[in-house]
Each structure stands twice: as C-alpha cells, then as structure tokens.
Amino acid sequence: MKNQPGSLWQRFTLAFPYAWLVAFFLVPFLIVLKISFSQGAIALPPYRPVLDLTAGWRGIEMFLAGLSLDNYRLLGSDSLYLLSYLKSLQIAAFSTLILLIIGYPIAYGMARTPRRLQAVLVVLVMLPFWTSFLIRIYAWMNILQRDGPLNELLMALHVVSTPPVWLATDTAIYIGIVYSYLPFMVLPLYAVLEKLDESLLEAAADLGCPRWKTFWLVTIPLSSPGVLAGVLLCLIPIVGEFVIPDLLGGSRAPMIGQTIWMEFFGNKDWPAASAVAVVLVCLLVTPIVLFQHLAMRSEERS
C-alpha cells in the first residue's frame, strides 16, 4: 500500500488530522505570538490592536502599526521573569536528575524480573498514573501538612523535635514532581532495558568483565535511548509545571507556569502572559527539535 500512488483515500486520511492540528495547534500559537506584540487594553478582547479584516488593507496597516516589543522589554527589565525562568530550569534539571537516579534502579529491577511478572509490574507502575494527577498532588498536601502523617512519623521516630514545615517550600515541589513524573522516567527506561540482549552481558562476563564494570560499560550506554527519552519526557513538561508548584510550593518565587497563570488570570495582562509563553516555547523548542532529529535518525538506521 505504501508504494501505490497517493490515492484519494490516503489524502483524506491525512487531510483531516492535518487540518485539525493546523487550526487548533498551529494557529493558536501564531495568535499567541501576535498577542505578545500587542498591548493590554480595558476592552473585550483585552488587547490592542485587533486585526479588523473588514477594514481591508487600511485595517492591516493599522494592525501592524499597533504592534510593539513592549512586552518583551518588560520581560527583560523586570527581574521577576528572569528569576522565574531560572528557577523553573533549575527545578526541572535537578528533579530530572533525581528522577533518573531513582527511576533507573526501578526500571532495571523491573526488566530483570521473570517475564510473567513484568506485565503485572508495568500495570502496577502505570496504575497511579491513571488516577488523577490532581488527586495525587492533593494526596501529598494531606501528607505534608504541618500536622500530617509525615511529621507524625518523624516525630514518633524522634528524627525531629518540632514538626518541620513542608508545604510552600521548594522541597515539597521536588517531592511532588518526582512523585508525579516517576512513571514517565521509569517506563521509557524499562522499555529499553527490557529489550537488552542478555547475551551481550554474558559475552562481557565471558571476556572477563566484572559485574559492575559490565553495567557501566555495556548496560548504561545501550540504555541511552531510554535515558534520553525519559529525560526529555520529564524535563520539558516540568519546566512549565503549574499545578505542583501552585499547590505544594509557595508564590514567593514562582515557577514560569505559575507566572503565566498569574499574568493571565491575576493581572489580566494577556499580552504579557503571551510574551512569557513565547520565550518559554523558544527555550523548550531546542530539545524538542533535537529529539525529533535523533528519533528520525534512529528510525532510518533501523
């Protein structure tokens, strides 16, 4: 079927989702871009200029004249935004590292269990993912409260004498992120480790390699596609996280997702929010494009 010339069927198959994505993904993003060059206004919609196509060419001229870089200047001048970006990147990088360190042994352990059990383990790991994200974060709110079970446990074990404050701290954010994104790190790693050819490890052992060295020289490099996938699946969304820092963290030093939300719903400054979003996308696009490129190359190789 692949070699038959583009039939009507095939074009139809493509046209429908293509059109949908252009309309509801590409165009909205272009609109965000446009509004990032606009100014706020007390009006409906709350930004100027608005493209009035009925005014013809004059309308377009007026539209282009009304665009400005004010919002981007604002981003550059107010350190709030810079700090927000940096904090988001820092939290994302650090938590991804933690996820990798915690997730790898879990994935490795899963891959080494007998095949029959593996399916069960996969379901077990996926099950929390199916329950609501919001609920699971809320569950942590329960636990991390000042008089919640975690502090009760710590007090009972005499680890601390007064209940520490967990909520509204960065630590809580880390806990929430690691907790929520663990399946996203474990599953790609597991998928790659599970396919690992046992005979390669046996060959290494046969050639005199001790187990830890085999792990370092053979297993880890071969699992690198899984590591890459896991890292990207976690790092990029974490940068723009909103729910976790909002519920578990404070608003003193917001992450970029919170900043966008606040600008939009709080200050009702749509153009500023758009500008923040555009810069964020530019930051994130680089790893996405990189991943696409690598994925296509490995597809061609196989």
Which residues within the stretch 169-188 sit at the binding site for other proteins (CB under 8 A)?
A: 179, 182-183, 186
Look up residue 200 and give its two tokens: 């390669």
| DSSP per residue, 15-33 | HHHHHHHIIIIIHHHHHHH
User: Can you tell me which of 77, 90, 131, 298 binds other proteins, judged by CB under 8 A?
Assistant: 131
Q: Could you say whether residue 1 binds other proteins (CB under 8 A)?
A: yes
19 or 159, CB closer to other proteins?
19
Question: Which residue in 141, 155, 196, 253 binds other proteins (CB under 8 A)?
Answer: 141
Quote the tokens at residue 227. 């590591």
Residue of 267, 236, 269 lying closest to 71 (CA atoms)? 269
Of 77 and 132, CB closest to other proteins: 132
Alpha-carbon distance of 268 to 56, in angstroms, equals 30
Distance CA 247, CA 265 (A): 16
Residue (of 189, 262, 270, 267) closest to 228 by Cα position? 189
Asked if 127 is part of the footprint of other proteins (rule: CB under 8 A), the reply reads yes
- The residues in 2-61 that bind other proteins, with binding defined as CB under 8 A, are 2-4, 6-7, 9-10, 13-14, 16-18, 20-22, 24-29, 31-32, 35, 45
Residue window 216-245: x/- pattern of binding to other proteins, with contact defined by CB under 8 A: ----------------xx--xx-xxxxx--
Q: Which range in 61-69, 72-80, 220-228, 257-265 contacts other proteins by CB under 8 A?
A: 257-265
For the bound state, the minimum distance from the C-beta of residue 225 to other proteins, rounded and expressed in Å, comes to 14
Q: Cα–chain-centroid distance for residue 183?
A: 13
Q: What is the DSSP letter of 53?
A: G
State which of residues 192, 228, 244, 273 lies at the interface with other proteins (CB under 8 A): 273
Q: Cα-atom radius of gyration of the chain, to the nearest Å?
A: 25
Question: Least distance to other proteins from the beta carbon of 179, Å?
Answer: 7
39 vs 55: CA distance, rounded Å: 20
